[in-house]
Amino acid sequence: MLNNLFKKLLGIDKLEENAKLAIEESLRVQQSAKESIDAAKEAERLSKLTPKELATEKKEPYVAVLDTHVNKDNIRNGFFELDWNEYFVVQLRLAGYIGDSEEEIVDKWFQDLCRNIGAEAGVDMDRRNSGYINVNTIGEGKSEIS
């Protein structure tokens, strides 16, 4: 008690309170700086991810056409190179697509997609004179469809 009175008389209590507030503010600033640095590091890490990696990290379906080739000698033939993640395959399974492999499931979806686009465009979907569809699995969730 005497100690508190002595501090009050000399103004030491105010100095201690100001020092305590300054330390608390310094800790808040340090925490904020750490959070900013962590956010910048995370933003940099995310910026280095491919769209597929980003979607996979977010557990979102991803599918893309990586490349399209047309046979120079027979314009009716060519292929698309597709890429997807496991969440896209899950989405297809939930939509009713069935198959023994991811490639088979994605191929069924892609064939449906092509048929629907053709039908909407008024294209005769009779395939007797239009070639064939060949699926070549190239691994890592990728296939070439020709």
DSSP 30-68: HHHHHHHHHHHHHHHHHHTS-HHHHHHHTT---EEEEEE
**Does 31 have pLDDT greater than 70?**
yes
Terminal-residue alpha carbon distance, the chain: 90
Parse the chain into domains and list their residue ranges. Answer: 2-47, 51-145
Whether residue 88 contacts residue 63, with contact meaning beta carbons closer than 8 Å, is answered with yes
Amino acid at 28: R
| pLDDT, tens only, 35-75 | 999 999 999 998 999 999 999 999 999 999 999 999 899 98
pLDDT of residue 41: 92
In 56-141, the DSSP E strands lie at: 63-70, 78-84, 135-139
Q: Say if pTM beats, i.e. exceeds, 0.85.
A: no
